[in-house]
Structure 1
Amino acid sequence: MTAPAPGADGPSPRTRTAQHYSVAPVLDAPEGYIAPGMPGVPVTGYEPHTPAVHRRPPRSRTALALTLALLATLLGGLAYGCAPLRAADSLGWLTIAQAGLVALPLGRLGGRNRLLPPLGALLAAAALLLGQLTQRLRLTHAAGPAPHGLLHTTLTTWHTHLRPLDLAFYAIALTGGFLLTRRTANHP
């Protein structure tokens, strides 16, 4: 339905309601006027935020991270191996602490490098291995002089005393080193 042209039959006695047009009516607006909120309206009062100093992304200090992780591997392994001998059975669960000790510098200083989580897993397992070998070395040295050599005897006794629970501790060290390195790298 279309509205009658103005002035055709005179004014209508009905009140004006919504009108339907087949073509949009011409608005009484000045030329070039665009209603607020419509596309093409220049936005006023908005200033984009431009920081005075551009922040650089944090530097990745991979060499320092690797050095500290290797130092943490040595310290964690020696602390594990030098623990009292009577606590040897319950000591394997400390591999989580060794993994955390190795993962902290790798993740925090190394950044989000994709090679660092697998390296953290290997270093955590190496810390556990070093700790077990140090512990066996102390037991072998306490037993008396070794006939073939101290290192050979230590390795053979470590291999003969390896239990399935020790393999579970190695699995914990590998997964803990990987996951903790990745999580510490993702947190700011």
Structure 2
Amino acid sequence: MTAPAPGTDGPSARPHTAQHYSVAPPPTTPEGYVAPGMPGAPVTGYDPVAPRTTPRPRRTALAIALAVLATLLSGLAYGCAPLRAADSLGWLAIAQAGLIALPLGLLGGRNRALPLLAALLAPAALLIGQLTQHLRLAHAIGSTPHTLLHDTLTTWRTDLRPLDAAFYTIALVGGFLLTRRTANRG
């Protein structure tokens, strides 16, 4: 026996079953509604902090001036150290690079030229320090003022070792990387 189809002989006695739609039914809640307590629901009493509209001022000229001053001062400090400690001072190249990178990164911001400038100034500080050491050594052995520069350069060239190339590389890479890192923090 077959049950009559609804609407032909009257209502069917069977219970209602799930309806199948070929198109989704219209939503019963408004678009974008999120129930309270669910992820994405607006939080009451929360007032977001507005971002700064004015960026930090970049003081590139001041940063470069301070980096050149740090180059000269750290080079002279390196060169005026006691002569008996001259062999162990090469590792201070990273400290010189840090002193040069600090003003460039903090004051100069994310300028792309500043890490390259630090990569040049850090080995220059090491060179100034070594030349100052040899100038003191040439002066200590009694060079005349006319031959002092020649004697300094001669003793510097004869005293160069392969380890000095490593120190110059440490200063170069350290100046570049430390400037980039301090610029990204600020």
- Partner residue, 2:86: 88
- Structure 1: which 5+ runs fail to align? 28-32, 40-44
Q: Is the 8 A contact 2:6 2:12 kept in 1?
A: no
Task: Tell me which amino acid in the other structure corresponds to 1:82.
Answer: C
SS class of match (2:92): helix
The AA in structure 1 aligned to 2:12 is S
Q: How far has the Cα of 1:60 moved from its partner?
A: 1.1
The Cα RMSD (Å) is: 2.9
Q: Structure 1 residues 70, 5: CA separation in 2 closer, same or farther (over 3 Å shift)?
A: farther
- Give 1:10's aligned residue: 10
Mapped partners of 1:24, 1:180: distance in 2: 59
Superposition deviation, residue 8 in structure 1: 3.5
Q: How does 1:43-122 map to 2 (within 5 A)?
A: 51=50, 55-122=53-120
Contact 1:146 1:153 in 2 (8 A): no
Look up the equivalent residue of 2:142 and give its one-letter code. Answer: G
How far, CA to CA, are the matches of 2:164 and 2:133 in structure 1?
Answer: 13
Q: Which residue of structure 2 lines up, in the alignment, with residue 42 of structure 1?
A: none
| Aligned residue in 1 for 2:165 | 167
CA drift at 1:19: 1.4
> What TM-score does the superposition give when structure 2 sets the normalisation length?
0.82
Change (3 A) 1:54 1:171: closer
Between the aligned residues of both structures, percent identity stands at 71
One-letter amino acid of the counterpart of residue 179, structure 1: L
**Would you say how many aligned residue pairs link Structure 1 and Structure 2?**
174
* TM-score between both structures, scaled by the size of structure 1: 0.81
* SS of corresponding position for 1:124: helix
CA drift of 1:106 comes to: 0.3
Instruction: Write out aligned runs for 1:118-129 (5 A).
Output: 118-129=116-127
Counterpart Cα distance in 2 of 1:70 and 1:24: 71
Choose the corresponding residue for 2:134, options 133, 136, 150: 136
Matches of 2:5 and 2:91, distance apart in 1: 92
Name the SS of the counterpart of 1:87 in structure 2. helix
